[in-house]
């Protein structure tokens, strides 16, 4: 007699699969944008200027100095990766499309740094390129699959009230300051009826 199977860990329930995909997409966006932001702030080139008999002056330039828009887009990618958690449905899918475009733009900046900028160390633009592509993959995953992923729980949403209570059922804040302090002393939230 064989034991019944409840599903392999790879397949799991649709809710668990959705949470896993959501976590992967957010991590891809955050790791990719974070890697690109870190790499663009490193020293990409060092220029030495001769000064006669004095030692040459050294001018270092980071990727942010050369391509300032890349760091701005990487910050947008970081913020968007966090925003994936707070959105749902169609808005989340649109955000995923935006994150894919932002990731591709960051990758384009890394590619430009690799090919068009002379005298630049190659590892940092390459990491920007990789980071942008990773963030773009997270954005594409969100755009394609994000509508079915779970959203934040209802505990994060403000409760809807139909009408303001009157009399002793009103929140203590509306009744008076003394009632609010007494409610706090009793361990109650004076803003909730």
> How far is Cα 144 from Cα 95, in angstroms, rounded to an integer?
11
Q: Is the pLDDT of residue 3 over 70?
A: no
Specify which of 10-14, 34-38, 151-155, 165-169 reaches the highest per-range mean pLDDT: 34-38
pTM of the model as a whole:
0.69
Comparing 156 with 28, which gets the higher pLDDT? 28
Q: What does the domain layout of the chain look like in residue ranges?
A: 15-47+58-150
> What's the mean pLDDT when you consider all of the chain?
82
Comparing 80 with 150, which gets the higher pLDDT? 80
**pLDDT value at residue 110:** 93
Where on the phi/psi map is residue 7: left (φ > 0), alpha (ψ -120 to 50), or beta?
left
Q: Is the pLDDT of residue 7 over 80?
A: no
Q: Terminus-to-terminus CA distance in the chain, angstroms? A: 57
- Contact between 49 and 56 under an 8 Å Cβ cutoff? The reply is yes
Query: Each residue of 62-111: pLDDT tens digit?
Result: 889 989 999 999 999 999 999 999 898 899 999 999 999 999 999 999 99
The residues, ordered by sequence, that sit 6+ positions from 147 with a Cβ below 8 Å of its Cβ are 88, 89, 90, 92, 93
Other beta carbons within 10 angstroms of residue 76's beta carbon come to: 19
Return phi, psi of residue 160, to 5°: -95, 130
* Beta bridge pairs of residue 47: 59
| Helix (H) / strand (E) containing 173 | helix 172-175
> How far is Cα 35 from Cα 44, in angstroms, rounded to an integer?
15
Smallest Cα–Cα separation from 191: which of 166, 168, 167, 174?
174
Q: Is the pLDDT of residue 168 over 80?
A: no
Handedness of CA 25, 30, 32, 33 (dihedral sign): positive
Query: Each residue of 112-128: pLDDT tens digit?
Result: 998 887 788 899 999 99
**pLDDT value at residue 127:** 95
């Amino acid at each position: 007699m064989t034991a019944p199977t409840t599903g392999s860990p790879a397949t799991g329930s649709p809710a668990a699969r959705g949470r896993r995909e959501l976590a992967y997409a957010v991590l891809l966006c955050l790791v990719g944008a974070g890697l690109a932001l870190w790499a663009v702030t490193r020293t990409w080139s060092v220029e030495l200027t001769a000064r006669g008999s004095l030692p040459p002056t050294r001018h270092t330039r980071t990727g942010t100095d050369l391509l300032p828009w890349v760091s701005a887009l990487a910050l947008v990618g970081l913020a968007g990766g966090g925003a994936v958690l707070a959105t749902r449905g169609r808005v989340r899918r649109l955000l995923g499309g935006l994150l894919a475009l932002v990731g591709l733009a960051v990758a384009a900046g890394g590619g430009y740094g690799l090919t068009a900028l002379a005298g630049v160390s190659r590892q940092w633009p390459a990491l920007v390129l990789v980071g942008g592509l990773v963030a773009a993959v997270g954005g594409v995953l969100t755009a394609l699959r994000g509508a079915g992923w779970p959203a934040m729980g209802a505990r994060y949403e403000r409760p809807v009230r139909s009408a303001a209570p009157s009399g002793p059922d009103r929140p203590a804040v509306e009744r008076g300051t003394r009632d609010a302090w007494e409610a706090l002393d009793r361990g109650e939230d004076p803003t909730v009826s």
